[in-house]
Structure 1
Amino acid sequence: MHLLFLSRPDRGHLYPTLRLAEELGGRGHQVTFASGDPYVDETAGPGVRILRFGRDERGLLDMPVFRSQGPVDAVVADPRTAKAAGAFGAVPVVVAGTNLAGGREWPGERSSSYVFTLPGPRGAVHDPWRPGGRRPVLLVDGPPIGPLVRAFGDTQWQVVVGDSTRFAGLPHADVFLTDGRLAAVSAALRAGVPMVLAPETAEETGYARHVVALGVGRIVAPAEQPAEELRQAVERMRVDEPTLVTARRLATRVEAAGAPAVAATAVEALLDAESVARAA
C-alpha cells in the first residue's frame, strides 16, 4: 500500500510516528512521511520518503514529487493532522499518537481507529532540561504555582515547572505533579515515574482515579491543602518502594505495547479490517 503519514512536530521537534513509518516501509509498503517542520530528519529507512508540505498539509497536492508517487491508499495521521486527511481522498485513516490506547489496563484514547506508538529519539530536541546536582526532582505540569512555592520553596527539591519541551524532564524526575491530562499521564507511565495528581475536570479525575488504581499515583488538591501535607504526599511517592516497583513494571509493559513492530501490526490490522468492510 501507499501510506501517507501526516505529522506535525511535538514540542522539541520530535516525530513520534517516524519509527512507525520506517517499520511499515521495511515491511514493503510505500510510505510518504510528510511534515511542515524545517527540522525534520532528512533521511529515513528503506521505503520511506520524507517531504515537507509547508504550513498546510494540503500543500502536498500541488507538489509534483508527491503526485508522481501515485494515489494514496491510506493516511496515518497524528492527532493534530487528522482533520486534513480528507483532502487525500476517501481512504482509510488511522490516528497514531503517544497517548496510550484505552482499555482496562490503563487510561487512554478510546477510538477504534487509534494506535499507540512510542515516541522515538528522532528530530532535533532543543535544550533538553538536565537536573542540577543530586537533589530530588519534582516535575510539574498543570497545578498552580503558589502552593508549590509554599510547599517546596525552602526544601532540597528541584521543582521544574512548565517544561519547555513538554515532558522531556520526566527521565530525570522522581515524582510528577500533574493535573491528570491524558498526555501527561501517558508520558509518566512511559517513563515509569510515580504521579501526584491534581485533576480539575471530570475527564482528568477519571484518568487520575485510574492511575491511583494502578498503584502509581495519589490525588491531592494543592490549592486547598496545607503546604506540609502536599510536601509529604510528594515525599511518600518518592520513597515508597512498592509504588516505584509498580511504576517500573508498567513502564516495561507500556514500552512493549507501543514498540514500532507492535504499532505497525496494529495499523495493518486496522487497514485490513477497513478493506474487508468496504468490500462487503
Structure 2
Amino acid sequence: MAHIAFMSLPEAGHLNPLLPIARELVERGHRITFPADDSMVERIRPTGAETISYEPRPTETIVIDGMDAAARATLALLQQLEHVLPQIETRYADDRPDLIVNDWLAWAGPMLAAKWHLPRIQSWSAHAASEGYDFGTFIVGMFAASPVKAEFDTLLDAVLSRHGIPPLQLHDFYKPAEFNLVYQPKSFHVHNETFDNDRYAFVGPTRMPAAQDWTPPRRPMVLVSLGTIISRRDFFHACIQAFTDEPYHVVMSVGRSINPTDLGPLPANIEAHQHIPQPAVLAHADAFVTHTGMNSTMEALAAAVPMVAIPHTPEEQTTAERVAALGLGTVLTPADATAERLREAVRGLLDEPTTRQRLRAMQNDLRTAGGALHAADTIEARLPR
C-alpha cells in the first residue's frame, strides 16, 4: 500500500474536508501521514492517520477586512511556512511519501513535491482555479500596490533558496495542480464550463451531516454565523435588534473571540453560543445568515437552507455571488447588514418557495457528487504504479 502525505492549514475550513478522505484511505490499507501542530492532532487522530508534529510560529490573528489585511495575511502565511518547513522536511528525510495531497494554502505541498519530484493533488477548500477562473490573478493584483510586496518576494526567494526548491512565484500557488479535488458539485462552481474532467474531481462535501440530538425550541428557525475566524460584536448586536420579537427562533454562533454574555440580556427567541454543531442545527434551519465560507455554504446546501450571504473576504464574495446567481439566497455587504436590511432579507427568504425548489435540486447534486469515497478513488487512481 502507498504512503500518502496530507498537508493542510490548521483552520477548520481547510482541514475538515481532508479528514474523511484520510480516514477512508486508512481503512483501505494506505499509510497516511499528516504534518500537524498541537491544535490539529486531536482532530486528525480519529482518522487513523499518523501525525508529524511541528511547532508553529506564534502569530496574531489578522481580520481580513480589506486588501491591505489580505496582503498581510498572505505574508503571515509565508512567514509561518518559513518556520515550519524545516521541521516538516526533516521528519520526511528518510520517509518520503509516494504522493502529496495538499490544501491550496498549504504551500509546503507544492514546494516539497517540486523538490522531491513527487506527484501532487491539490485540495480546493475554496473555488478551484482553471483557465477560465484564476484567483491568483486577483492575488497578484492585490500585492502590486501593497507595502508588504517587497518583503514577501524577498522572503519567498530566501525560503526557496534555503531548501533547494525550484523557482516558484506567488501566482504559482494559486494555479491548478496536475490533479485537483474540489469540494463542490460542478453545478455550483463559478465558471464551471472551463473545468475539464481529466484534471478535476468535483467530489462535493466530504463530511455530510451526522445525526445529532438537537431540536430547536420552535420553528421557523434562523441560524446566524460568521464562521470561526471573523468576530464582529456590532454585527451580532444588529442581529439581536433585527430579530427580537420576530415570529421565529434565532440561534447565533458568535465564534471563539466573543463571550455570549458580552452581548447582554437576550430576548426569549434568541440564543447565542461560541460554538454549535452546525450541520445538526442546519438540519432544522429555515434560513442561514452566513459569511459564505465554503464549508458553511456546502453544509447549507446539503440541508437545502436558503442563505443571507454577508461575505468578508474575496473568496467569500465569489461564493456569495454564486449563491445569488443560482437563486439560492441573497447577498448583503457587511456595511449594508443593518438591523432593518437583515430583517427584510430573512423575511424574504422565509416567504420564497421557488428558492426552496432550486435548493432541493442543488442538494441532489451534492448527494450524488460522491464525497470522500469519490475523492479516495481518484487519489488511488493517481498513485505511482
TM-score with structure 1 setting the length: 0.69
The alpha carbon displacement at 1:139 in A equals 1.6
> Percent same amino acid among aligned pairs?
26
The alpha carbon displacement at 1:184 in A equals 3.9
2:174 equivalent to 1:82: no
Equivalent pair of 1:94/1:113 in contact (CA under 8 Å): no
Equivalent pair of 1:178/1:184 in contact (CA under 8 Å): yes
Q: Which residues of 2 match residues 53-202 of structure 1 at below 5 A? A: 53-55=53-55, 56=84, 58-63=86-91, 70-87=95-112, 89-99=116-126, 101=182, 105-107=187-189, 116=203, 118-120=205-207, 133-135=217-219, 136-141=221-226, 144-155=235-246, 156-163=248-255, 164-165=274-275, 168=278, 169-199=281-311
CA RMSD of aligned residues (A): 4.2
Equivalent pair of 2:293/2:319 in contact (CA under 8 Å): yes
Q: Which amino acid aligns with 2:51?
A: L
Matched residue SS, 2:101? strand
Matched residue SS, 2:50? strand
Q: Which amino acid aligns with 2:121?
A: V
Q: CA 1:248–1:98 in 2, change beyond 3 Å: closer, same or farther?
A: farther
Equivalent pair of 1:237/1:243 in contact (CA under 8 Å): yes
- Residue by residue over 1:212-239, the C-alpha shift from the partner in whole angstroms, topping out at 9 and shown as x without a partner, is 2322112345744774553232123234
Equivalent pair of 1:97/1:117 in contact (CA under 8 Å): no
- Equivalent residue number for residue 41 of structure 2: 38
Query: Using the alignment, how far apart are the partners of 1:165 and 1:190 within structure 2?
Result: 20
Equivalent pair of 2:206/2:372 in contact (CA under 8 Å): no
The alpha carbon displacement at 1:4 in A equals 1.0
The alpha carbon displacement at 1:21 in A equals 2.2
- Equivalent residue number for residue 125 of structure 1: none
- Residue by residue over 1:226-263, the C-alpha shift from the partner in whole angstroms, topping out at 9 and shown as x without a partner, is 74553232123234333224323322322332512211
Matched residue SS, 2:33? strand
For structure 2, the 5+ residue unaligned runs are 56-83, 128-181, 256-273
Matched residue SS, 1:39? helix
Query: Using the alignment, how far apart are the partners of 2:323 and 2:112 within structure 1?
Result: 38
Equivalent pair of 1:97/1:115 in contact (CA under 8 Å): no
Query: Using the alignment, how far apart are the partners of 2:342 and 2:14 within structure 1?
Result: 34
TM-score with structure 2 setting the length: 0.53
- Residue by residue over 1:132-180, the C-alpha shift from the partner in whole angstroms, topping out at 9 and shown as x without a partner, is 5125223232783454233213324314143445882534432122344
Runs of 4+ more than 6 Å apart:
none
Query: Using the alignment, how far apart are the partners of 1:22 and 1:261 within structure 2?
Result: 10
Q: Matched residue pairs, number? A: 262
- Residue by residue over 1:53-97, the C-alpha shift from the partner in whole angstroms, topping out at 9 and shown as x without a partner, is 13246534444xx666x4322111224433355246232222225
Q: Which amino acid aligns with 2:207?
A: G
